[in-house]
Chain A
């Protein structure tokens, strides 16, 4: 899916190629078999809250990928210096710093979007995916592996929330990226479904995505 996994760079004196099979697994697994949202049940809050329209969802995805990748990298770099007892605070500090950076950038360059996303940018701090990856992966793995793992989880999260947003915007407002799809193809008689704009639509759409995805993978929760 991501292009960088396809190319095999020629690295001479390295025990393991930059994108070995093992490393490719870090990126590919969270996209499907081990998806953070649909299988691991993490990061649901923002997956539902920002997905009324495509555009804020896209911004949110980019922000989350950025925060996961760089917090994974930073934590992995300092993993041997962090005392076990205070690791949660250190991890939260790393995440909060990165989220502050994202929030300030957004405030400076796209204030409209900052208003739309509101508190949910700050809530990336408490996005369980970020915290979960730091705790489960970055604390015990090398920096480059952690970056790949972050990319995988980030994109795994991104495709799910973008799909949810696509259906919610299409059925709830009749648009995609504010482009009036139904109107342009002459289906003007289709009514907008108010439930989709509401929180209830989010739950339902995500439940259906989970259903489809788990049936396809044969994953059953007990």
Chain B
């Protein structure tokens, strides 16, 4: 039940986009069409769901103070936490490479439409942010997995919803200066207000 609660919380209340502004670059750039948005969203769920638990393992058994004790007593007081960023980003880059290969093999059309944005998942702050928050909040392995998948789904919800709004937006008369990025930010803000209504949900 705790885990389920955490999942719901990471999807709606601690939403990556509306609460922490993570992954905004691709959120704004790839949200012009619903189909592309779903594709990228799926990729993000997949990558987040894998990297957060993997990063948890690395943090727990390699980086943390005294984590290397399993290698032998002489390693017991090593603290490699300063390597955290480099390790995490390397793992993420490797996982993205993996997803890219899988997508290219099984869905060439999706691969074509995601194009340049697939490698960009590596620099999607939502992915690295997920891992860093996981460390900050001292999750267990199970919690980390749920949190990874949950925040991925939350991110996907946000981008799919935004792209649906933007598809309709083509037919409206927006002031010149606000076209594109400006109006998208305002819509995101309004959607953020809607997501605020989930605060306090607990199951």
Contact = CB atoms under 8 A, between A and B. Distances in A.
A128 B126 CA distance: 12
A42 B25 contact: yes
A213 B24 CA distance: 20
Q: How many of chain B's residues touch chain A, expressed as a range?
A: 35 or more
Interface in B63-111: 82-86, 89-90, 93
B133 A119 contact: yes
Contacts of A200: 189-190, 192-193, 196
B125 interface: yes
Contacts, number: 137
Interface residues of A, number: 47
A127 interface: yes
Given A118-B136, A119-B133, A210-B182, A41 B189 contact: no
A88 B189 contact: no
A215 interface: yes
Interface in A68-98: 88-89, 92-93, 96-97
Interface string A96-109: 11011001100000
Interface in A33-57: 38, 41-46, 48-49
B25 A41 contact: yes
Contacts of B23: 45
Nearest to B26: A128
Contact of B176 (A45, A96, A203, A215): A215
